[in-house]
Structure 1
Amino acid sequence: MGRWIPWRIAMVAATVLGMAGAASGEPLEGLRWQKRLLLVFTQGDTERERRQRDALPDEGLRERDMLLIRVPQDGEVSVPGVGAVPSADIRSAYGVADAASFTVILVGKDGGIKRRSSEPIAARDLFGTVDAMPMRRQETRGN
């Protein structure tokens, strides 16, 4: 029984800290460990945004548990598994200035930024980055 109490306290602390992280500026926290995110920040429907969207086959995104999220300059983003999130909150959390006309950020399942670009990323390069991640290699081995 002596071991049960510290374990239980650790579990409660982890839960509370996780909830605090979601409430303290991490608007996409609910997707951590669930999805890899490809955040495409835009100021409207631009040529670079269209090139980025068209470069990525849906099958390749699905295979890698990736969710493509378009983040406009203003308004809200409907994020599957999270709900409506203000664009300003996502921009702030990932350090994308309102004036940035186009930015692509790849976020790993751990919540860390894995790649950032001001130009569209080719599918080969993007999927290569993801496929080199230790967690992705583990997934492809079936572990």
Structure 2
Amino acid sequence: MANRSLKGIQAVFAVIAAAFLPSQTSAAEVPEAWAWKHRLIVVFAPHVEDTDLIAQRSEFARYQKGFEERHLILLEVVSEAVNTSIGPDLNVSGPDLRDYARKTGEHFEIMLFGKDTGIKLRSAKPVSANEVFALIDQMPMRRDEMRRQEN
């Protein structure tokens, strides 16, 4: 009887906590947070002092306008924490992003996801903003965007 009461109390607390805690997407829902609206760059790093993370952050910081033009969101996932560096906050968790990206290990990695949520670039080393922009600018959807911007 006491065990049933304890389970009932735990269930009540779980419902209350779910009502008051900010909701985040699950790994299965991660692409829904940006699909067909944004492109996503995710930088994974083991710690905030990671030299590749610092170099990548420095490289991208100079190109905010290019990110905006290409509907790019820049997320940094350091351990379990997610920081939106450029663009709107997606309210996704680090573990869910790791699961979605099939990211294993705690080493530096950068990934570019298209608006279709597919992986377009994956690198174990920092990449230049110009390299990312050139890749995106070759995509059919981006070419359509550029044509519409000209009109």
TM over 0.5: yes
**Candidates 98, 102, 116, aligned match of 1:95:** 102
Question: Hey, what does 2:132 align to over in structure 1?
Answer: 126
Larger radius of gyration: 2
Identity %: 32
| SS of equivalent residue, structure 1 residue 142 | helix
Report the Cα distance in structure 2 between the residues aligned to 1:31 and 1:90, rounded to whole angstroms.
12
The answer as to whether partners of 1:28 and 1:82 remain within 8 angstroms in 2 is: no
Greater mean deviation of Cα atoms: 125-134 or 46-55: 46-55
Q: Which runs of 5+ in 2 are unaligned?
A: 1-24
Distance of aligned partners of 1:76 and 1:114 in 2 relative to their CA distance in 1, 3 Å threshold: closer
1:12 paired residue number: none
Q: 1:82: how far off?
A: 3.3
RMSD: 2.1
Pick from 55, 72, 75 the counterpart of residue 59 of structure 2. Answer: 55
**Counterparts of 2:134 and 2:41 in 1: how far apart (Å)?**
14
- For 1:39-58, what per-residue CA distance to the aligned partner results, in whole angstroms no more than 9, with x for missing partners? 00111121111111111211
Size of the aligned set, in residue pairs, is 120
In the other structure, the counterpart of 1:139 is 145
Higher helix share: 2
State TM-score, norm by structure 2. 0.71
Would the alpha carbon gap of residues 61 and 24 (structure 1) be closer, same or farther in structure 2, given more than 3 Å must change? Answer: closer
